[in-house]
Amino acid sequence: ERTPTGCPVSARAAEFDPFEDGYQQDPPEYVRWAREKEPIFFSPKLGYWVITRYDDIKAVFRDNITFSPSNALEKITPTGDEANAVLASYGFALNRTLVNEDEPAHMPRRRALMDPFTPEALRHHEPMVRELARSYVDRFIDDGRADLVDQMLWEIPLTVALHFLGVPEEDMDTLRKYSIAHTVNTWGRPKPEEQVAVAHAVGNFWQYAGKVLEKMRQDPDAPGWMQYGIRKQKLHPEVVTDSYLHSMMMAGIVAAHETTANATANAVKLLLQHPQVWQELCEDPGLIPNAVEECVRHNGSVAAWRRLVTRDTQVGGVDLPAGSRLLIVTSSANHDEAHFSDADLFDIRRDNASDHLTFGYGSHQCMGKNLARMEMQIFLEEFTRRLPHMRLSEQRFSYVPNTSFRGPEHLWVEWDPAANPERRNP
Ligand code: HEM
């Protein structure tokens, strides 16, 4: 086999398959060979060039003209005619939001919509997050065991996301149900028989998102990022378009929800796999902010992101013709020895942990990163205070097969409820 530029494809590159369990379990380990020996390779199975080193990936993020983000939300596995017809029947038209918008449209829109992400604006959400975290822990603290994903970490970030966007309370449950289908539709490889069911769910999600948006337009002064966008649209209709608002109403839920839920599950798993570190954190919660950063570096919830090459160029000495599709494996960059010393070591005091690329980098860097950090910090504060004695249960971790969004589907932990700190010091 040959690359599109005519070079032979190595055996490892030919085997690369991000839908395999090896990639799901540990993406940076799965591409260690590439990071060390063949940092940019063409994957014939995926039809993408795969980039694995820190400096190369940063160079790609830095230039969003040569490396367009327009394919970031494209379906990585093209669906068949039947599924496409189903999507069309719902009028599905998910289009540019922010994350996949090119210049010159992107920057003015990003700037117009940035204010709700300032630290002051985010502080208003903190009491809600804390209250949710406390009440969910209350429900299971006397049980001695819990699946933290099912019983807490999946739901709270979704609720926070819906509040942040400004979704009315009565529509939350329906939107909750639909959101997972979008991940499989975009980054997964559903089997042909699953594709149609996924398409129906995504189509329903799209239509429902449209209805909720219409409702928001009736009350544009209500709090919420979507209502903020609706107000901005009145001032700058060419910057904040209808298509943007409808697409963001759907994509925004996923951007804010699954990323954060998965990031927290990955973090708790990683911490409990290092009981010594967990104990240190419980003894000194002041370490939590940097520990969050190190968890997001070491075991982030976005494993890889995408770009489209718009003109013939080179990265790391490799020719990439216009039209090349790139899978930039940010989780591999985060384990690059050239940037992080002893990169595989989990070190919550690492001083450059926040150099990680899990939130992307440059003009499209995650706008919600401080909301995500705040949620994760609050969850860890509550866990270290109330469940310092929890440990991981025996289990095998499973992941929804896809290239990008990554977190265990379940996270079982156990503890002795008789030893709960609040029993000892009521
Ligand atoms: C963009 C990751 C949480 C909103 C992105 C990008 C990544 C990412 C990789 C693309 C960056 C790039 O192209 O350079 C994450 C992770 C999260 C998280 C790992 C949690 C741990 C959130 C939350 C929100 C959010 C809570 C809240 C609404 C956005 C938006 C963009 C974005 C609006 C598009 C920014 C732009 O293109 O200008 N995120 N995200 N994200 N994220 Fe997040």
The alpha carbon of 417 is separated from its chain's Cα centroid by a whole number of angstroms, namely: 33
Between the CA of 360 and the centroid of ligand 1 the distance, in Å, is 8
CB 274 less than 6 A from any atom of ligand 1: no
**CA dihedral sign, ordered 50, 52, 56, 62:** positive
Name which residue sits closest to atom 21 of ligand 1, judged by CA.
Answer: 260
State the average pLDDT for the chain: 94
Q: Is 410's pLDDT higher than 80?
A: yes
CB 75 less than 6 A from any atom of ligand 1: no
Residue position matching structure tokens 């839908």: 19
Between the CA of 164 and the centroid of ligand 1 the distance, in Å, is 14
CB 288 less than 6 A from any atom of ligand 1: no
CA proximity to 3, closest of 61, 55, 43: 43
Question: Residue 172: its pLDDT value, please?
Answer: 85
CB 372 less than 6 A from any atom of ligand 1: yes
Per-residue model confidence as pLDDT tens digits over 71-100: 998 877 777 899 899 999 999 998 999 999
Burial of 414 (0-12, 13-18, 19+ CB in 10 A): middle
Cα 307 from Cα 287, distance rounded (Å): 35
The two tokens of residue 305 are 């992101």
Cα 251 from Cα 359, distance rounded (Å): 16
Q: Which amino acid is at 151?
A: Q
Per-residue model confidence as pLDDT tens digits over 317-358: 999 999 999 999 999 999 999 999 999 999 999 999 999 999
Q: What is the ipTM of this complex?
A: 0.99
- Whole-number Cα distances in Å, 399 to 19, 141, 149, 261, 388: 10, 26, 12, 13, 26
User: In 3-state terms, what secondary structure has residue 326?
Assistant: strand
User: In 3-state terms, what secondary structure has residue 257?
Assistant: helix
The answer to whether the peptide bond before residue 108 is cis (omega within 30 degrees of 0) is: no
Check if the beta carbon of residue 179 is closer than 8 Å to that of residue 158: yes
Cα 19 from Cα 290, distance rounded (Å): 31
**DSSP structural state of residue 307:** E
CB 129 less than 6 A from any atom of ligand 1: no
CB 263 less than 6 A from any atom of ligand 1: yes
Q: Which of 103, 179, 254, 359 to mutate to test the pocket of ligand 1 (most atoms within 8 A of CB)?
A: 359
Atom of ligand 1 nearest to the CA of 362: 14
The alpha carbon of 390 is separated from its chain's Cα centroid by a whole number of angstroms, namely: 26
**DSSP structural state of residue 391:** E
- Whole-number Cα distances in Å, 303 to 61, 100, 150, 291: 15, 17, 22, 19
Angle between helices 225-235 and 192-218 (to 10 degrees): 60
Question: Residue 326: its pLDDT value, please?
Answer: 98
- Categorize the per-residue pLDDT at 182 as very low, low, confident or very high, splitting at 50, 70 and 90: low
**CA dihedral sign, ordered 70, 76, 81, 83:** negative
CB 110 less than 6 A from any atom of ligand 1: yes
Name which residue sits closest to atom 14 of ligand 1, judged by CA.
Answer: 360
CB 291 less than 6 A from any atom of ligand 1: no
Atom of ligand 1 nearest to the CA of 296: 21
CA proximity to 265, closest of 391, 393, 147, 364: 147
Q: Find the range with the poorest average confidence among 99-108, 178-187, 193-202, 271-280.
A: 178-187
Between the CA of 322 and the centroid of ligand 1 the distance, in Å, is 26
CB 57 less than 6 A from any atom of ligand 1: no
More confident residue, 133 or 403: 133
CB 259 less than 6 A from any atom of ligand 1: yes
CB 256 less than 6 A from any atom of ligand 1: yes
Question: Residue 195: its pLDDT value, please?
Answer: 85
Q: Is 149's pLDDT higher than 80?
A: yes
Per-residue model confidence as pLDDT tens digits over 222-281: 999 999 999 999 999 999 999 999 999 988 988 899 899 999 999 999 999 999 999 999
Atom of ligand 1 nearest to the CA of 110: 38
CB 371 less than 6 A from any atom of ligand 1: yes
Q: Is 425's pLDDT higher than 60?
A: no
CB 365 less than 6 A from any atom of ligand 1: yes
Q: pTM score > 0.90 for this model?
A: yes
Question: Residue 253: its pLDDT value, please?
Answer: 87
- Whole-number Cα distances in Å, 340 to 23, 53, 344, 352, 360: 21, 11, 9, 8, 17
CB 358 less than 6 A from any atom of ligand 1: yes
Q: Which of 266, 328, 366 to mutate to test the pocket of ligand 1 (most atoms within 8 A of CB)?
A: 366
Check if the beta carbon of residue 375 is closer than 8 Å to that of residue 264: yes
Name which residue sits closest to atom 32 of ligand 1, judged by CA.
Answer: 366
Element (H, E) at 309: strand 305-309
Within 38-140, residue ranges assigned H as helices are: 54-62, 81-89, 106-112, 119-123, 126-140
Between the CA of 16 and the centroid of ligand 1 the distance, in Å, is 26
Between the CA of 366 and the centroid of ligand 1 the distance, in Å, is 3
Q: Is 192's pLDDT higher than 80?
A: no
